[in-house]
Structure 1
């Protein structure tokens, strides 16, 4: 675009004036002047759009890239060299276009309605993980309300591998024949606590 301006204007002094005007707009926009920001966007909008179109993006992707570029400029306007804002916009626009193209490569295009059912997800469902964590916390709270001997017995029964009844009987001091019924009462109590 700068070469275009130079060819149209014919002199280096006029090109420097255009650059200085853009630099002034950047400085004023950085200080919070809304009018300068609008003029800066108007000044470079065609450049940003031209770069996005050179990547042959769809209109919606090009519009998304354009919005992201202006957001990036707004976030970094205090660090951008005002004299080089045009070059910064070109580089940033190219990077955003490449990001969009890279994302598009990860998308699976298909005409079959069942294709997505067969595709494994990268990660388990977030909701399922959160529900499992909440449920585990509820179970721990319910276990803590049981008598200590019951908690210890359930812990030994739930170990991997579970402790043999003879070991549980020796450690807790209850007859082997009582372990099954006590375990049943513990589980009934836990179900009641978790249901409430």
Structure 2
């Protein structure tokens, strides 16, 4: 796609044009997946990274200074999202522990056990509150979120066909749903649970 065409599409997408969003997604989905696959994430992490990158574009499409370079912007954003996923994953490593010797056979130890009964109870309480917030969504929004987090990932085209929803409105709708969930969680006192 030529730079002037890309610029026109970005400007139209910023104004909410669904056909422009469809064209952007069709043009750059392969690029995003190739960047994300280079990080060797598992399927769910890769799908989340791609969707998060699209969400970032939805959030910033009107702010792009050089819309003709959206491909580079998407690559850089996907790269950053993947690095964030890897950093977060590095904090969640399991260790083998021997009461007498400590970490076994080179296993990593990151400090005291934070998985005690209090932490487990708090985690369950958070899960219940998140499920309640999800259950409060309209059925159509619940269905969309289920399809977006499915493993293996479902393409936007398949989601569109299943829900009868234009491909270009999937990302913006997801952004609105996540904003609504963030509000509900903040109201429940869970500001520390950030939905991205």
Q: TM-score, normalised to structure 1's length?
A: 0.49
Higher relative contact order (CA 8 A, sep 6+): 2
- Higher radius of gyration, 1 or 2: 1
Q: TM-score, normalised to structure 2's length?
A: 0.49
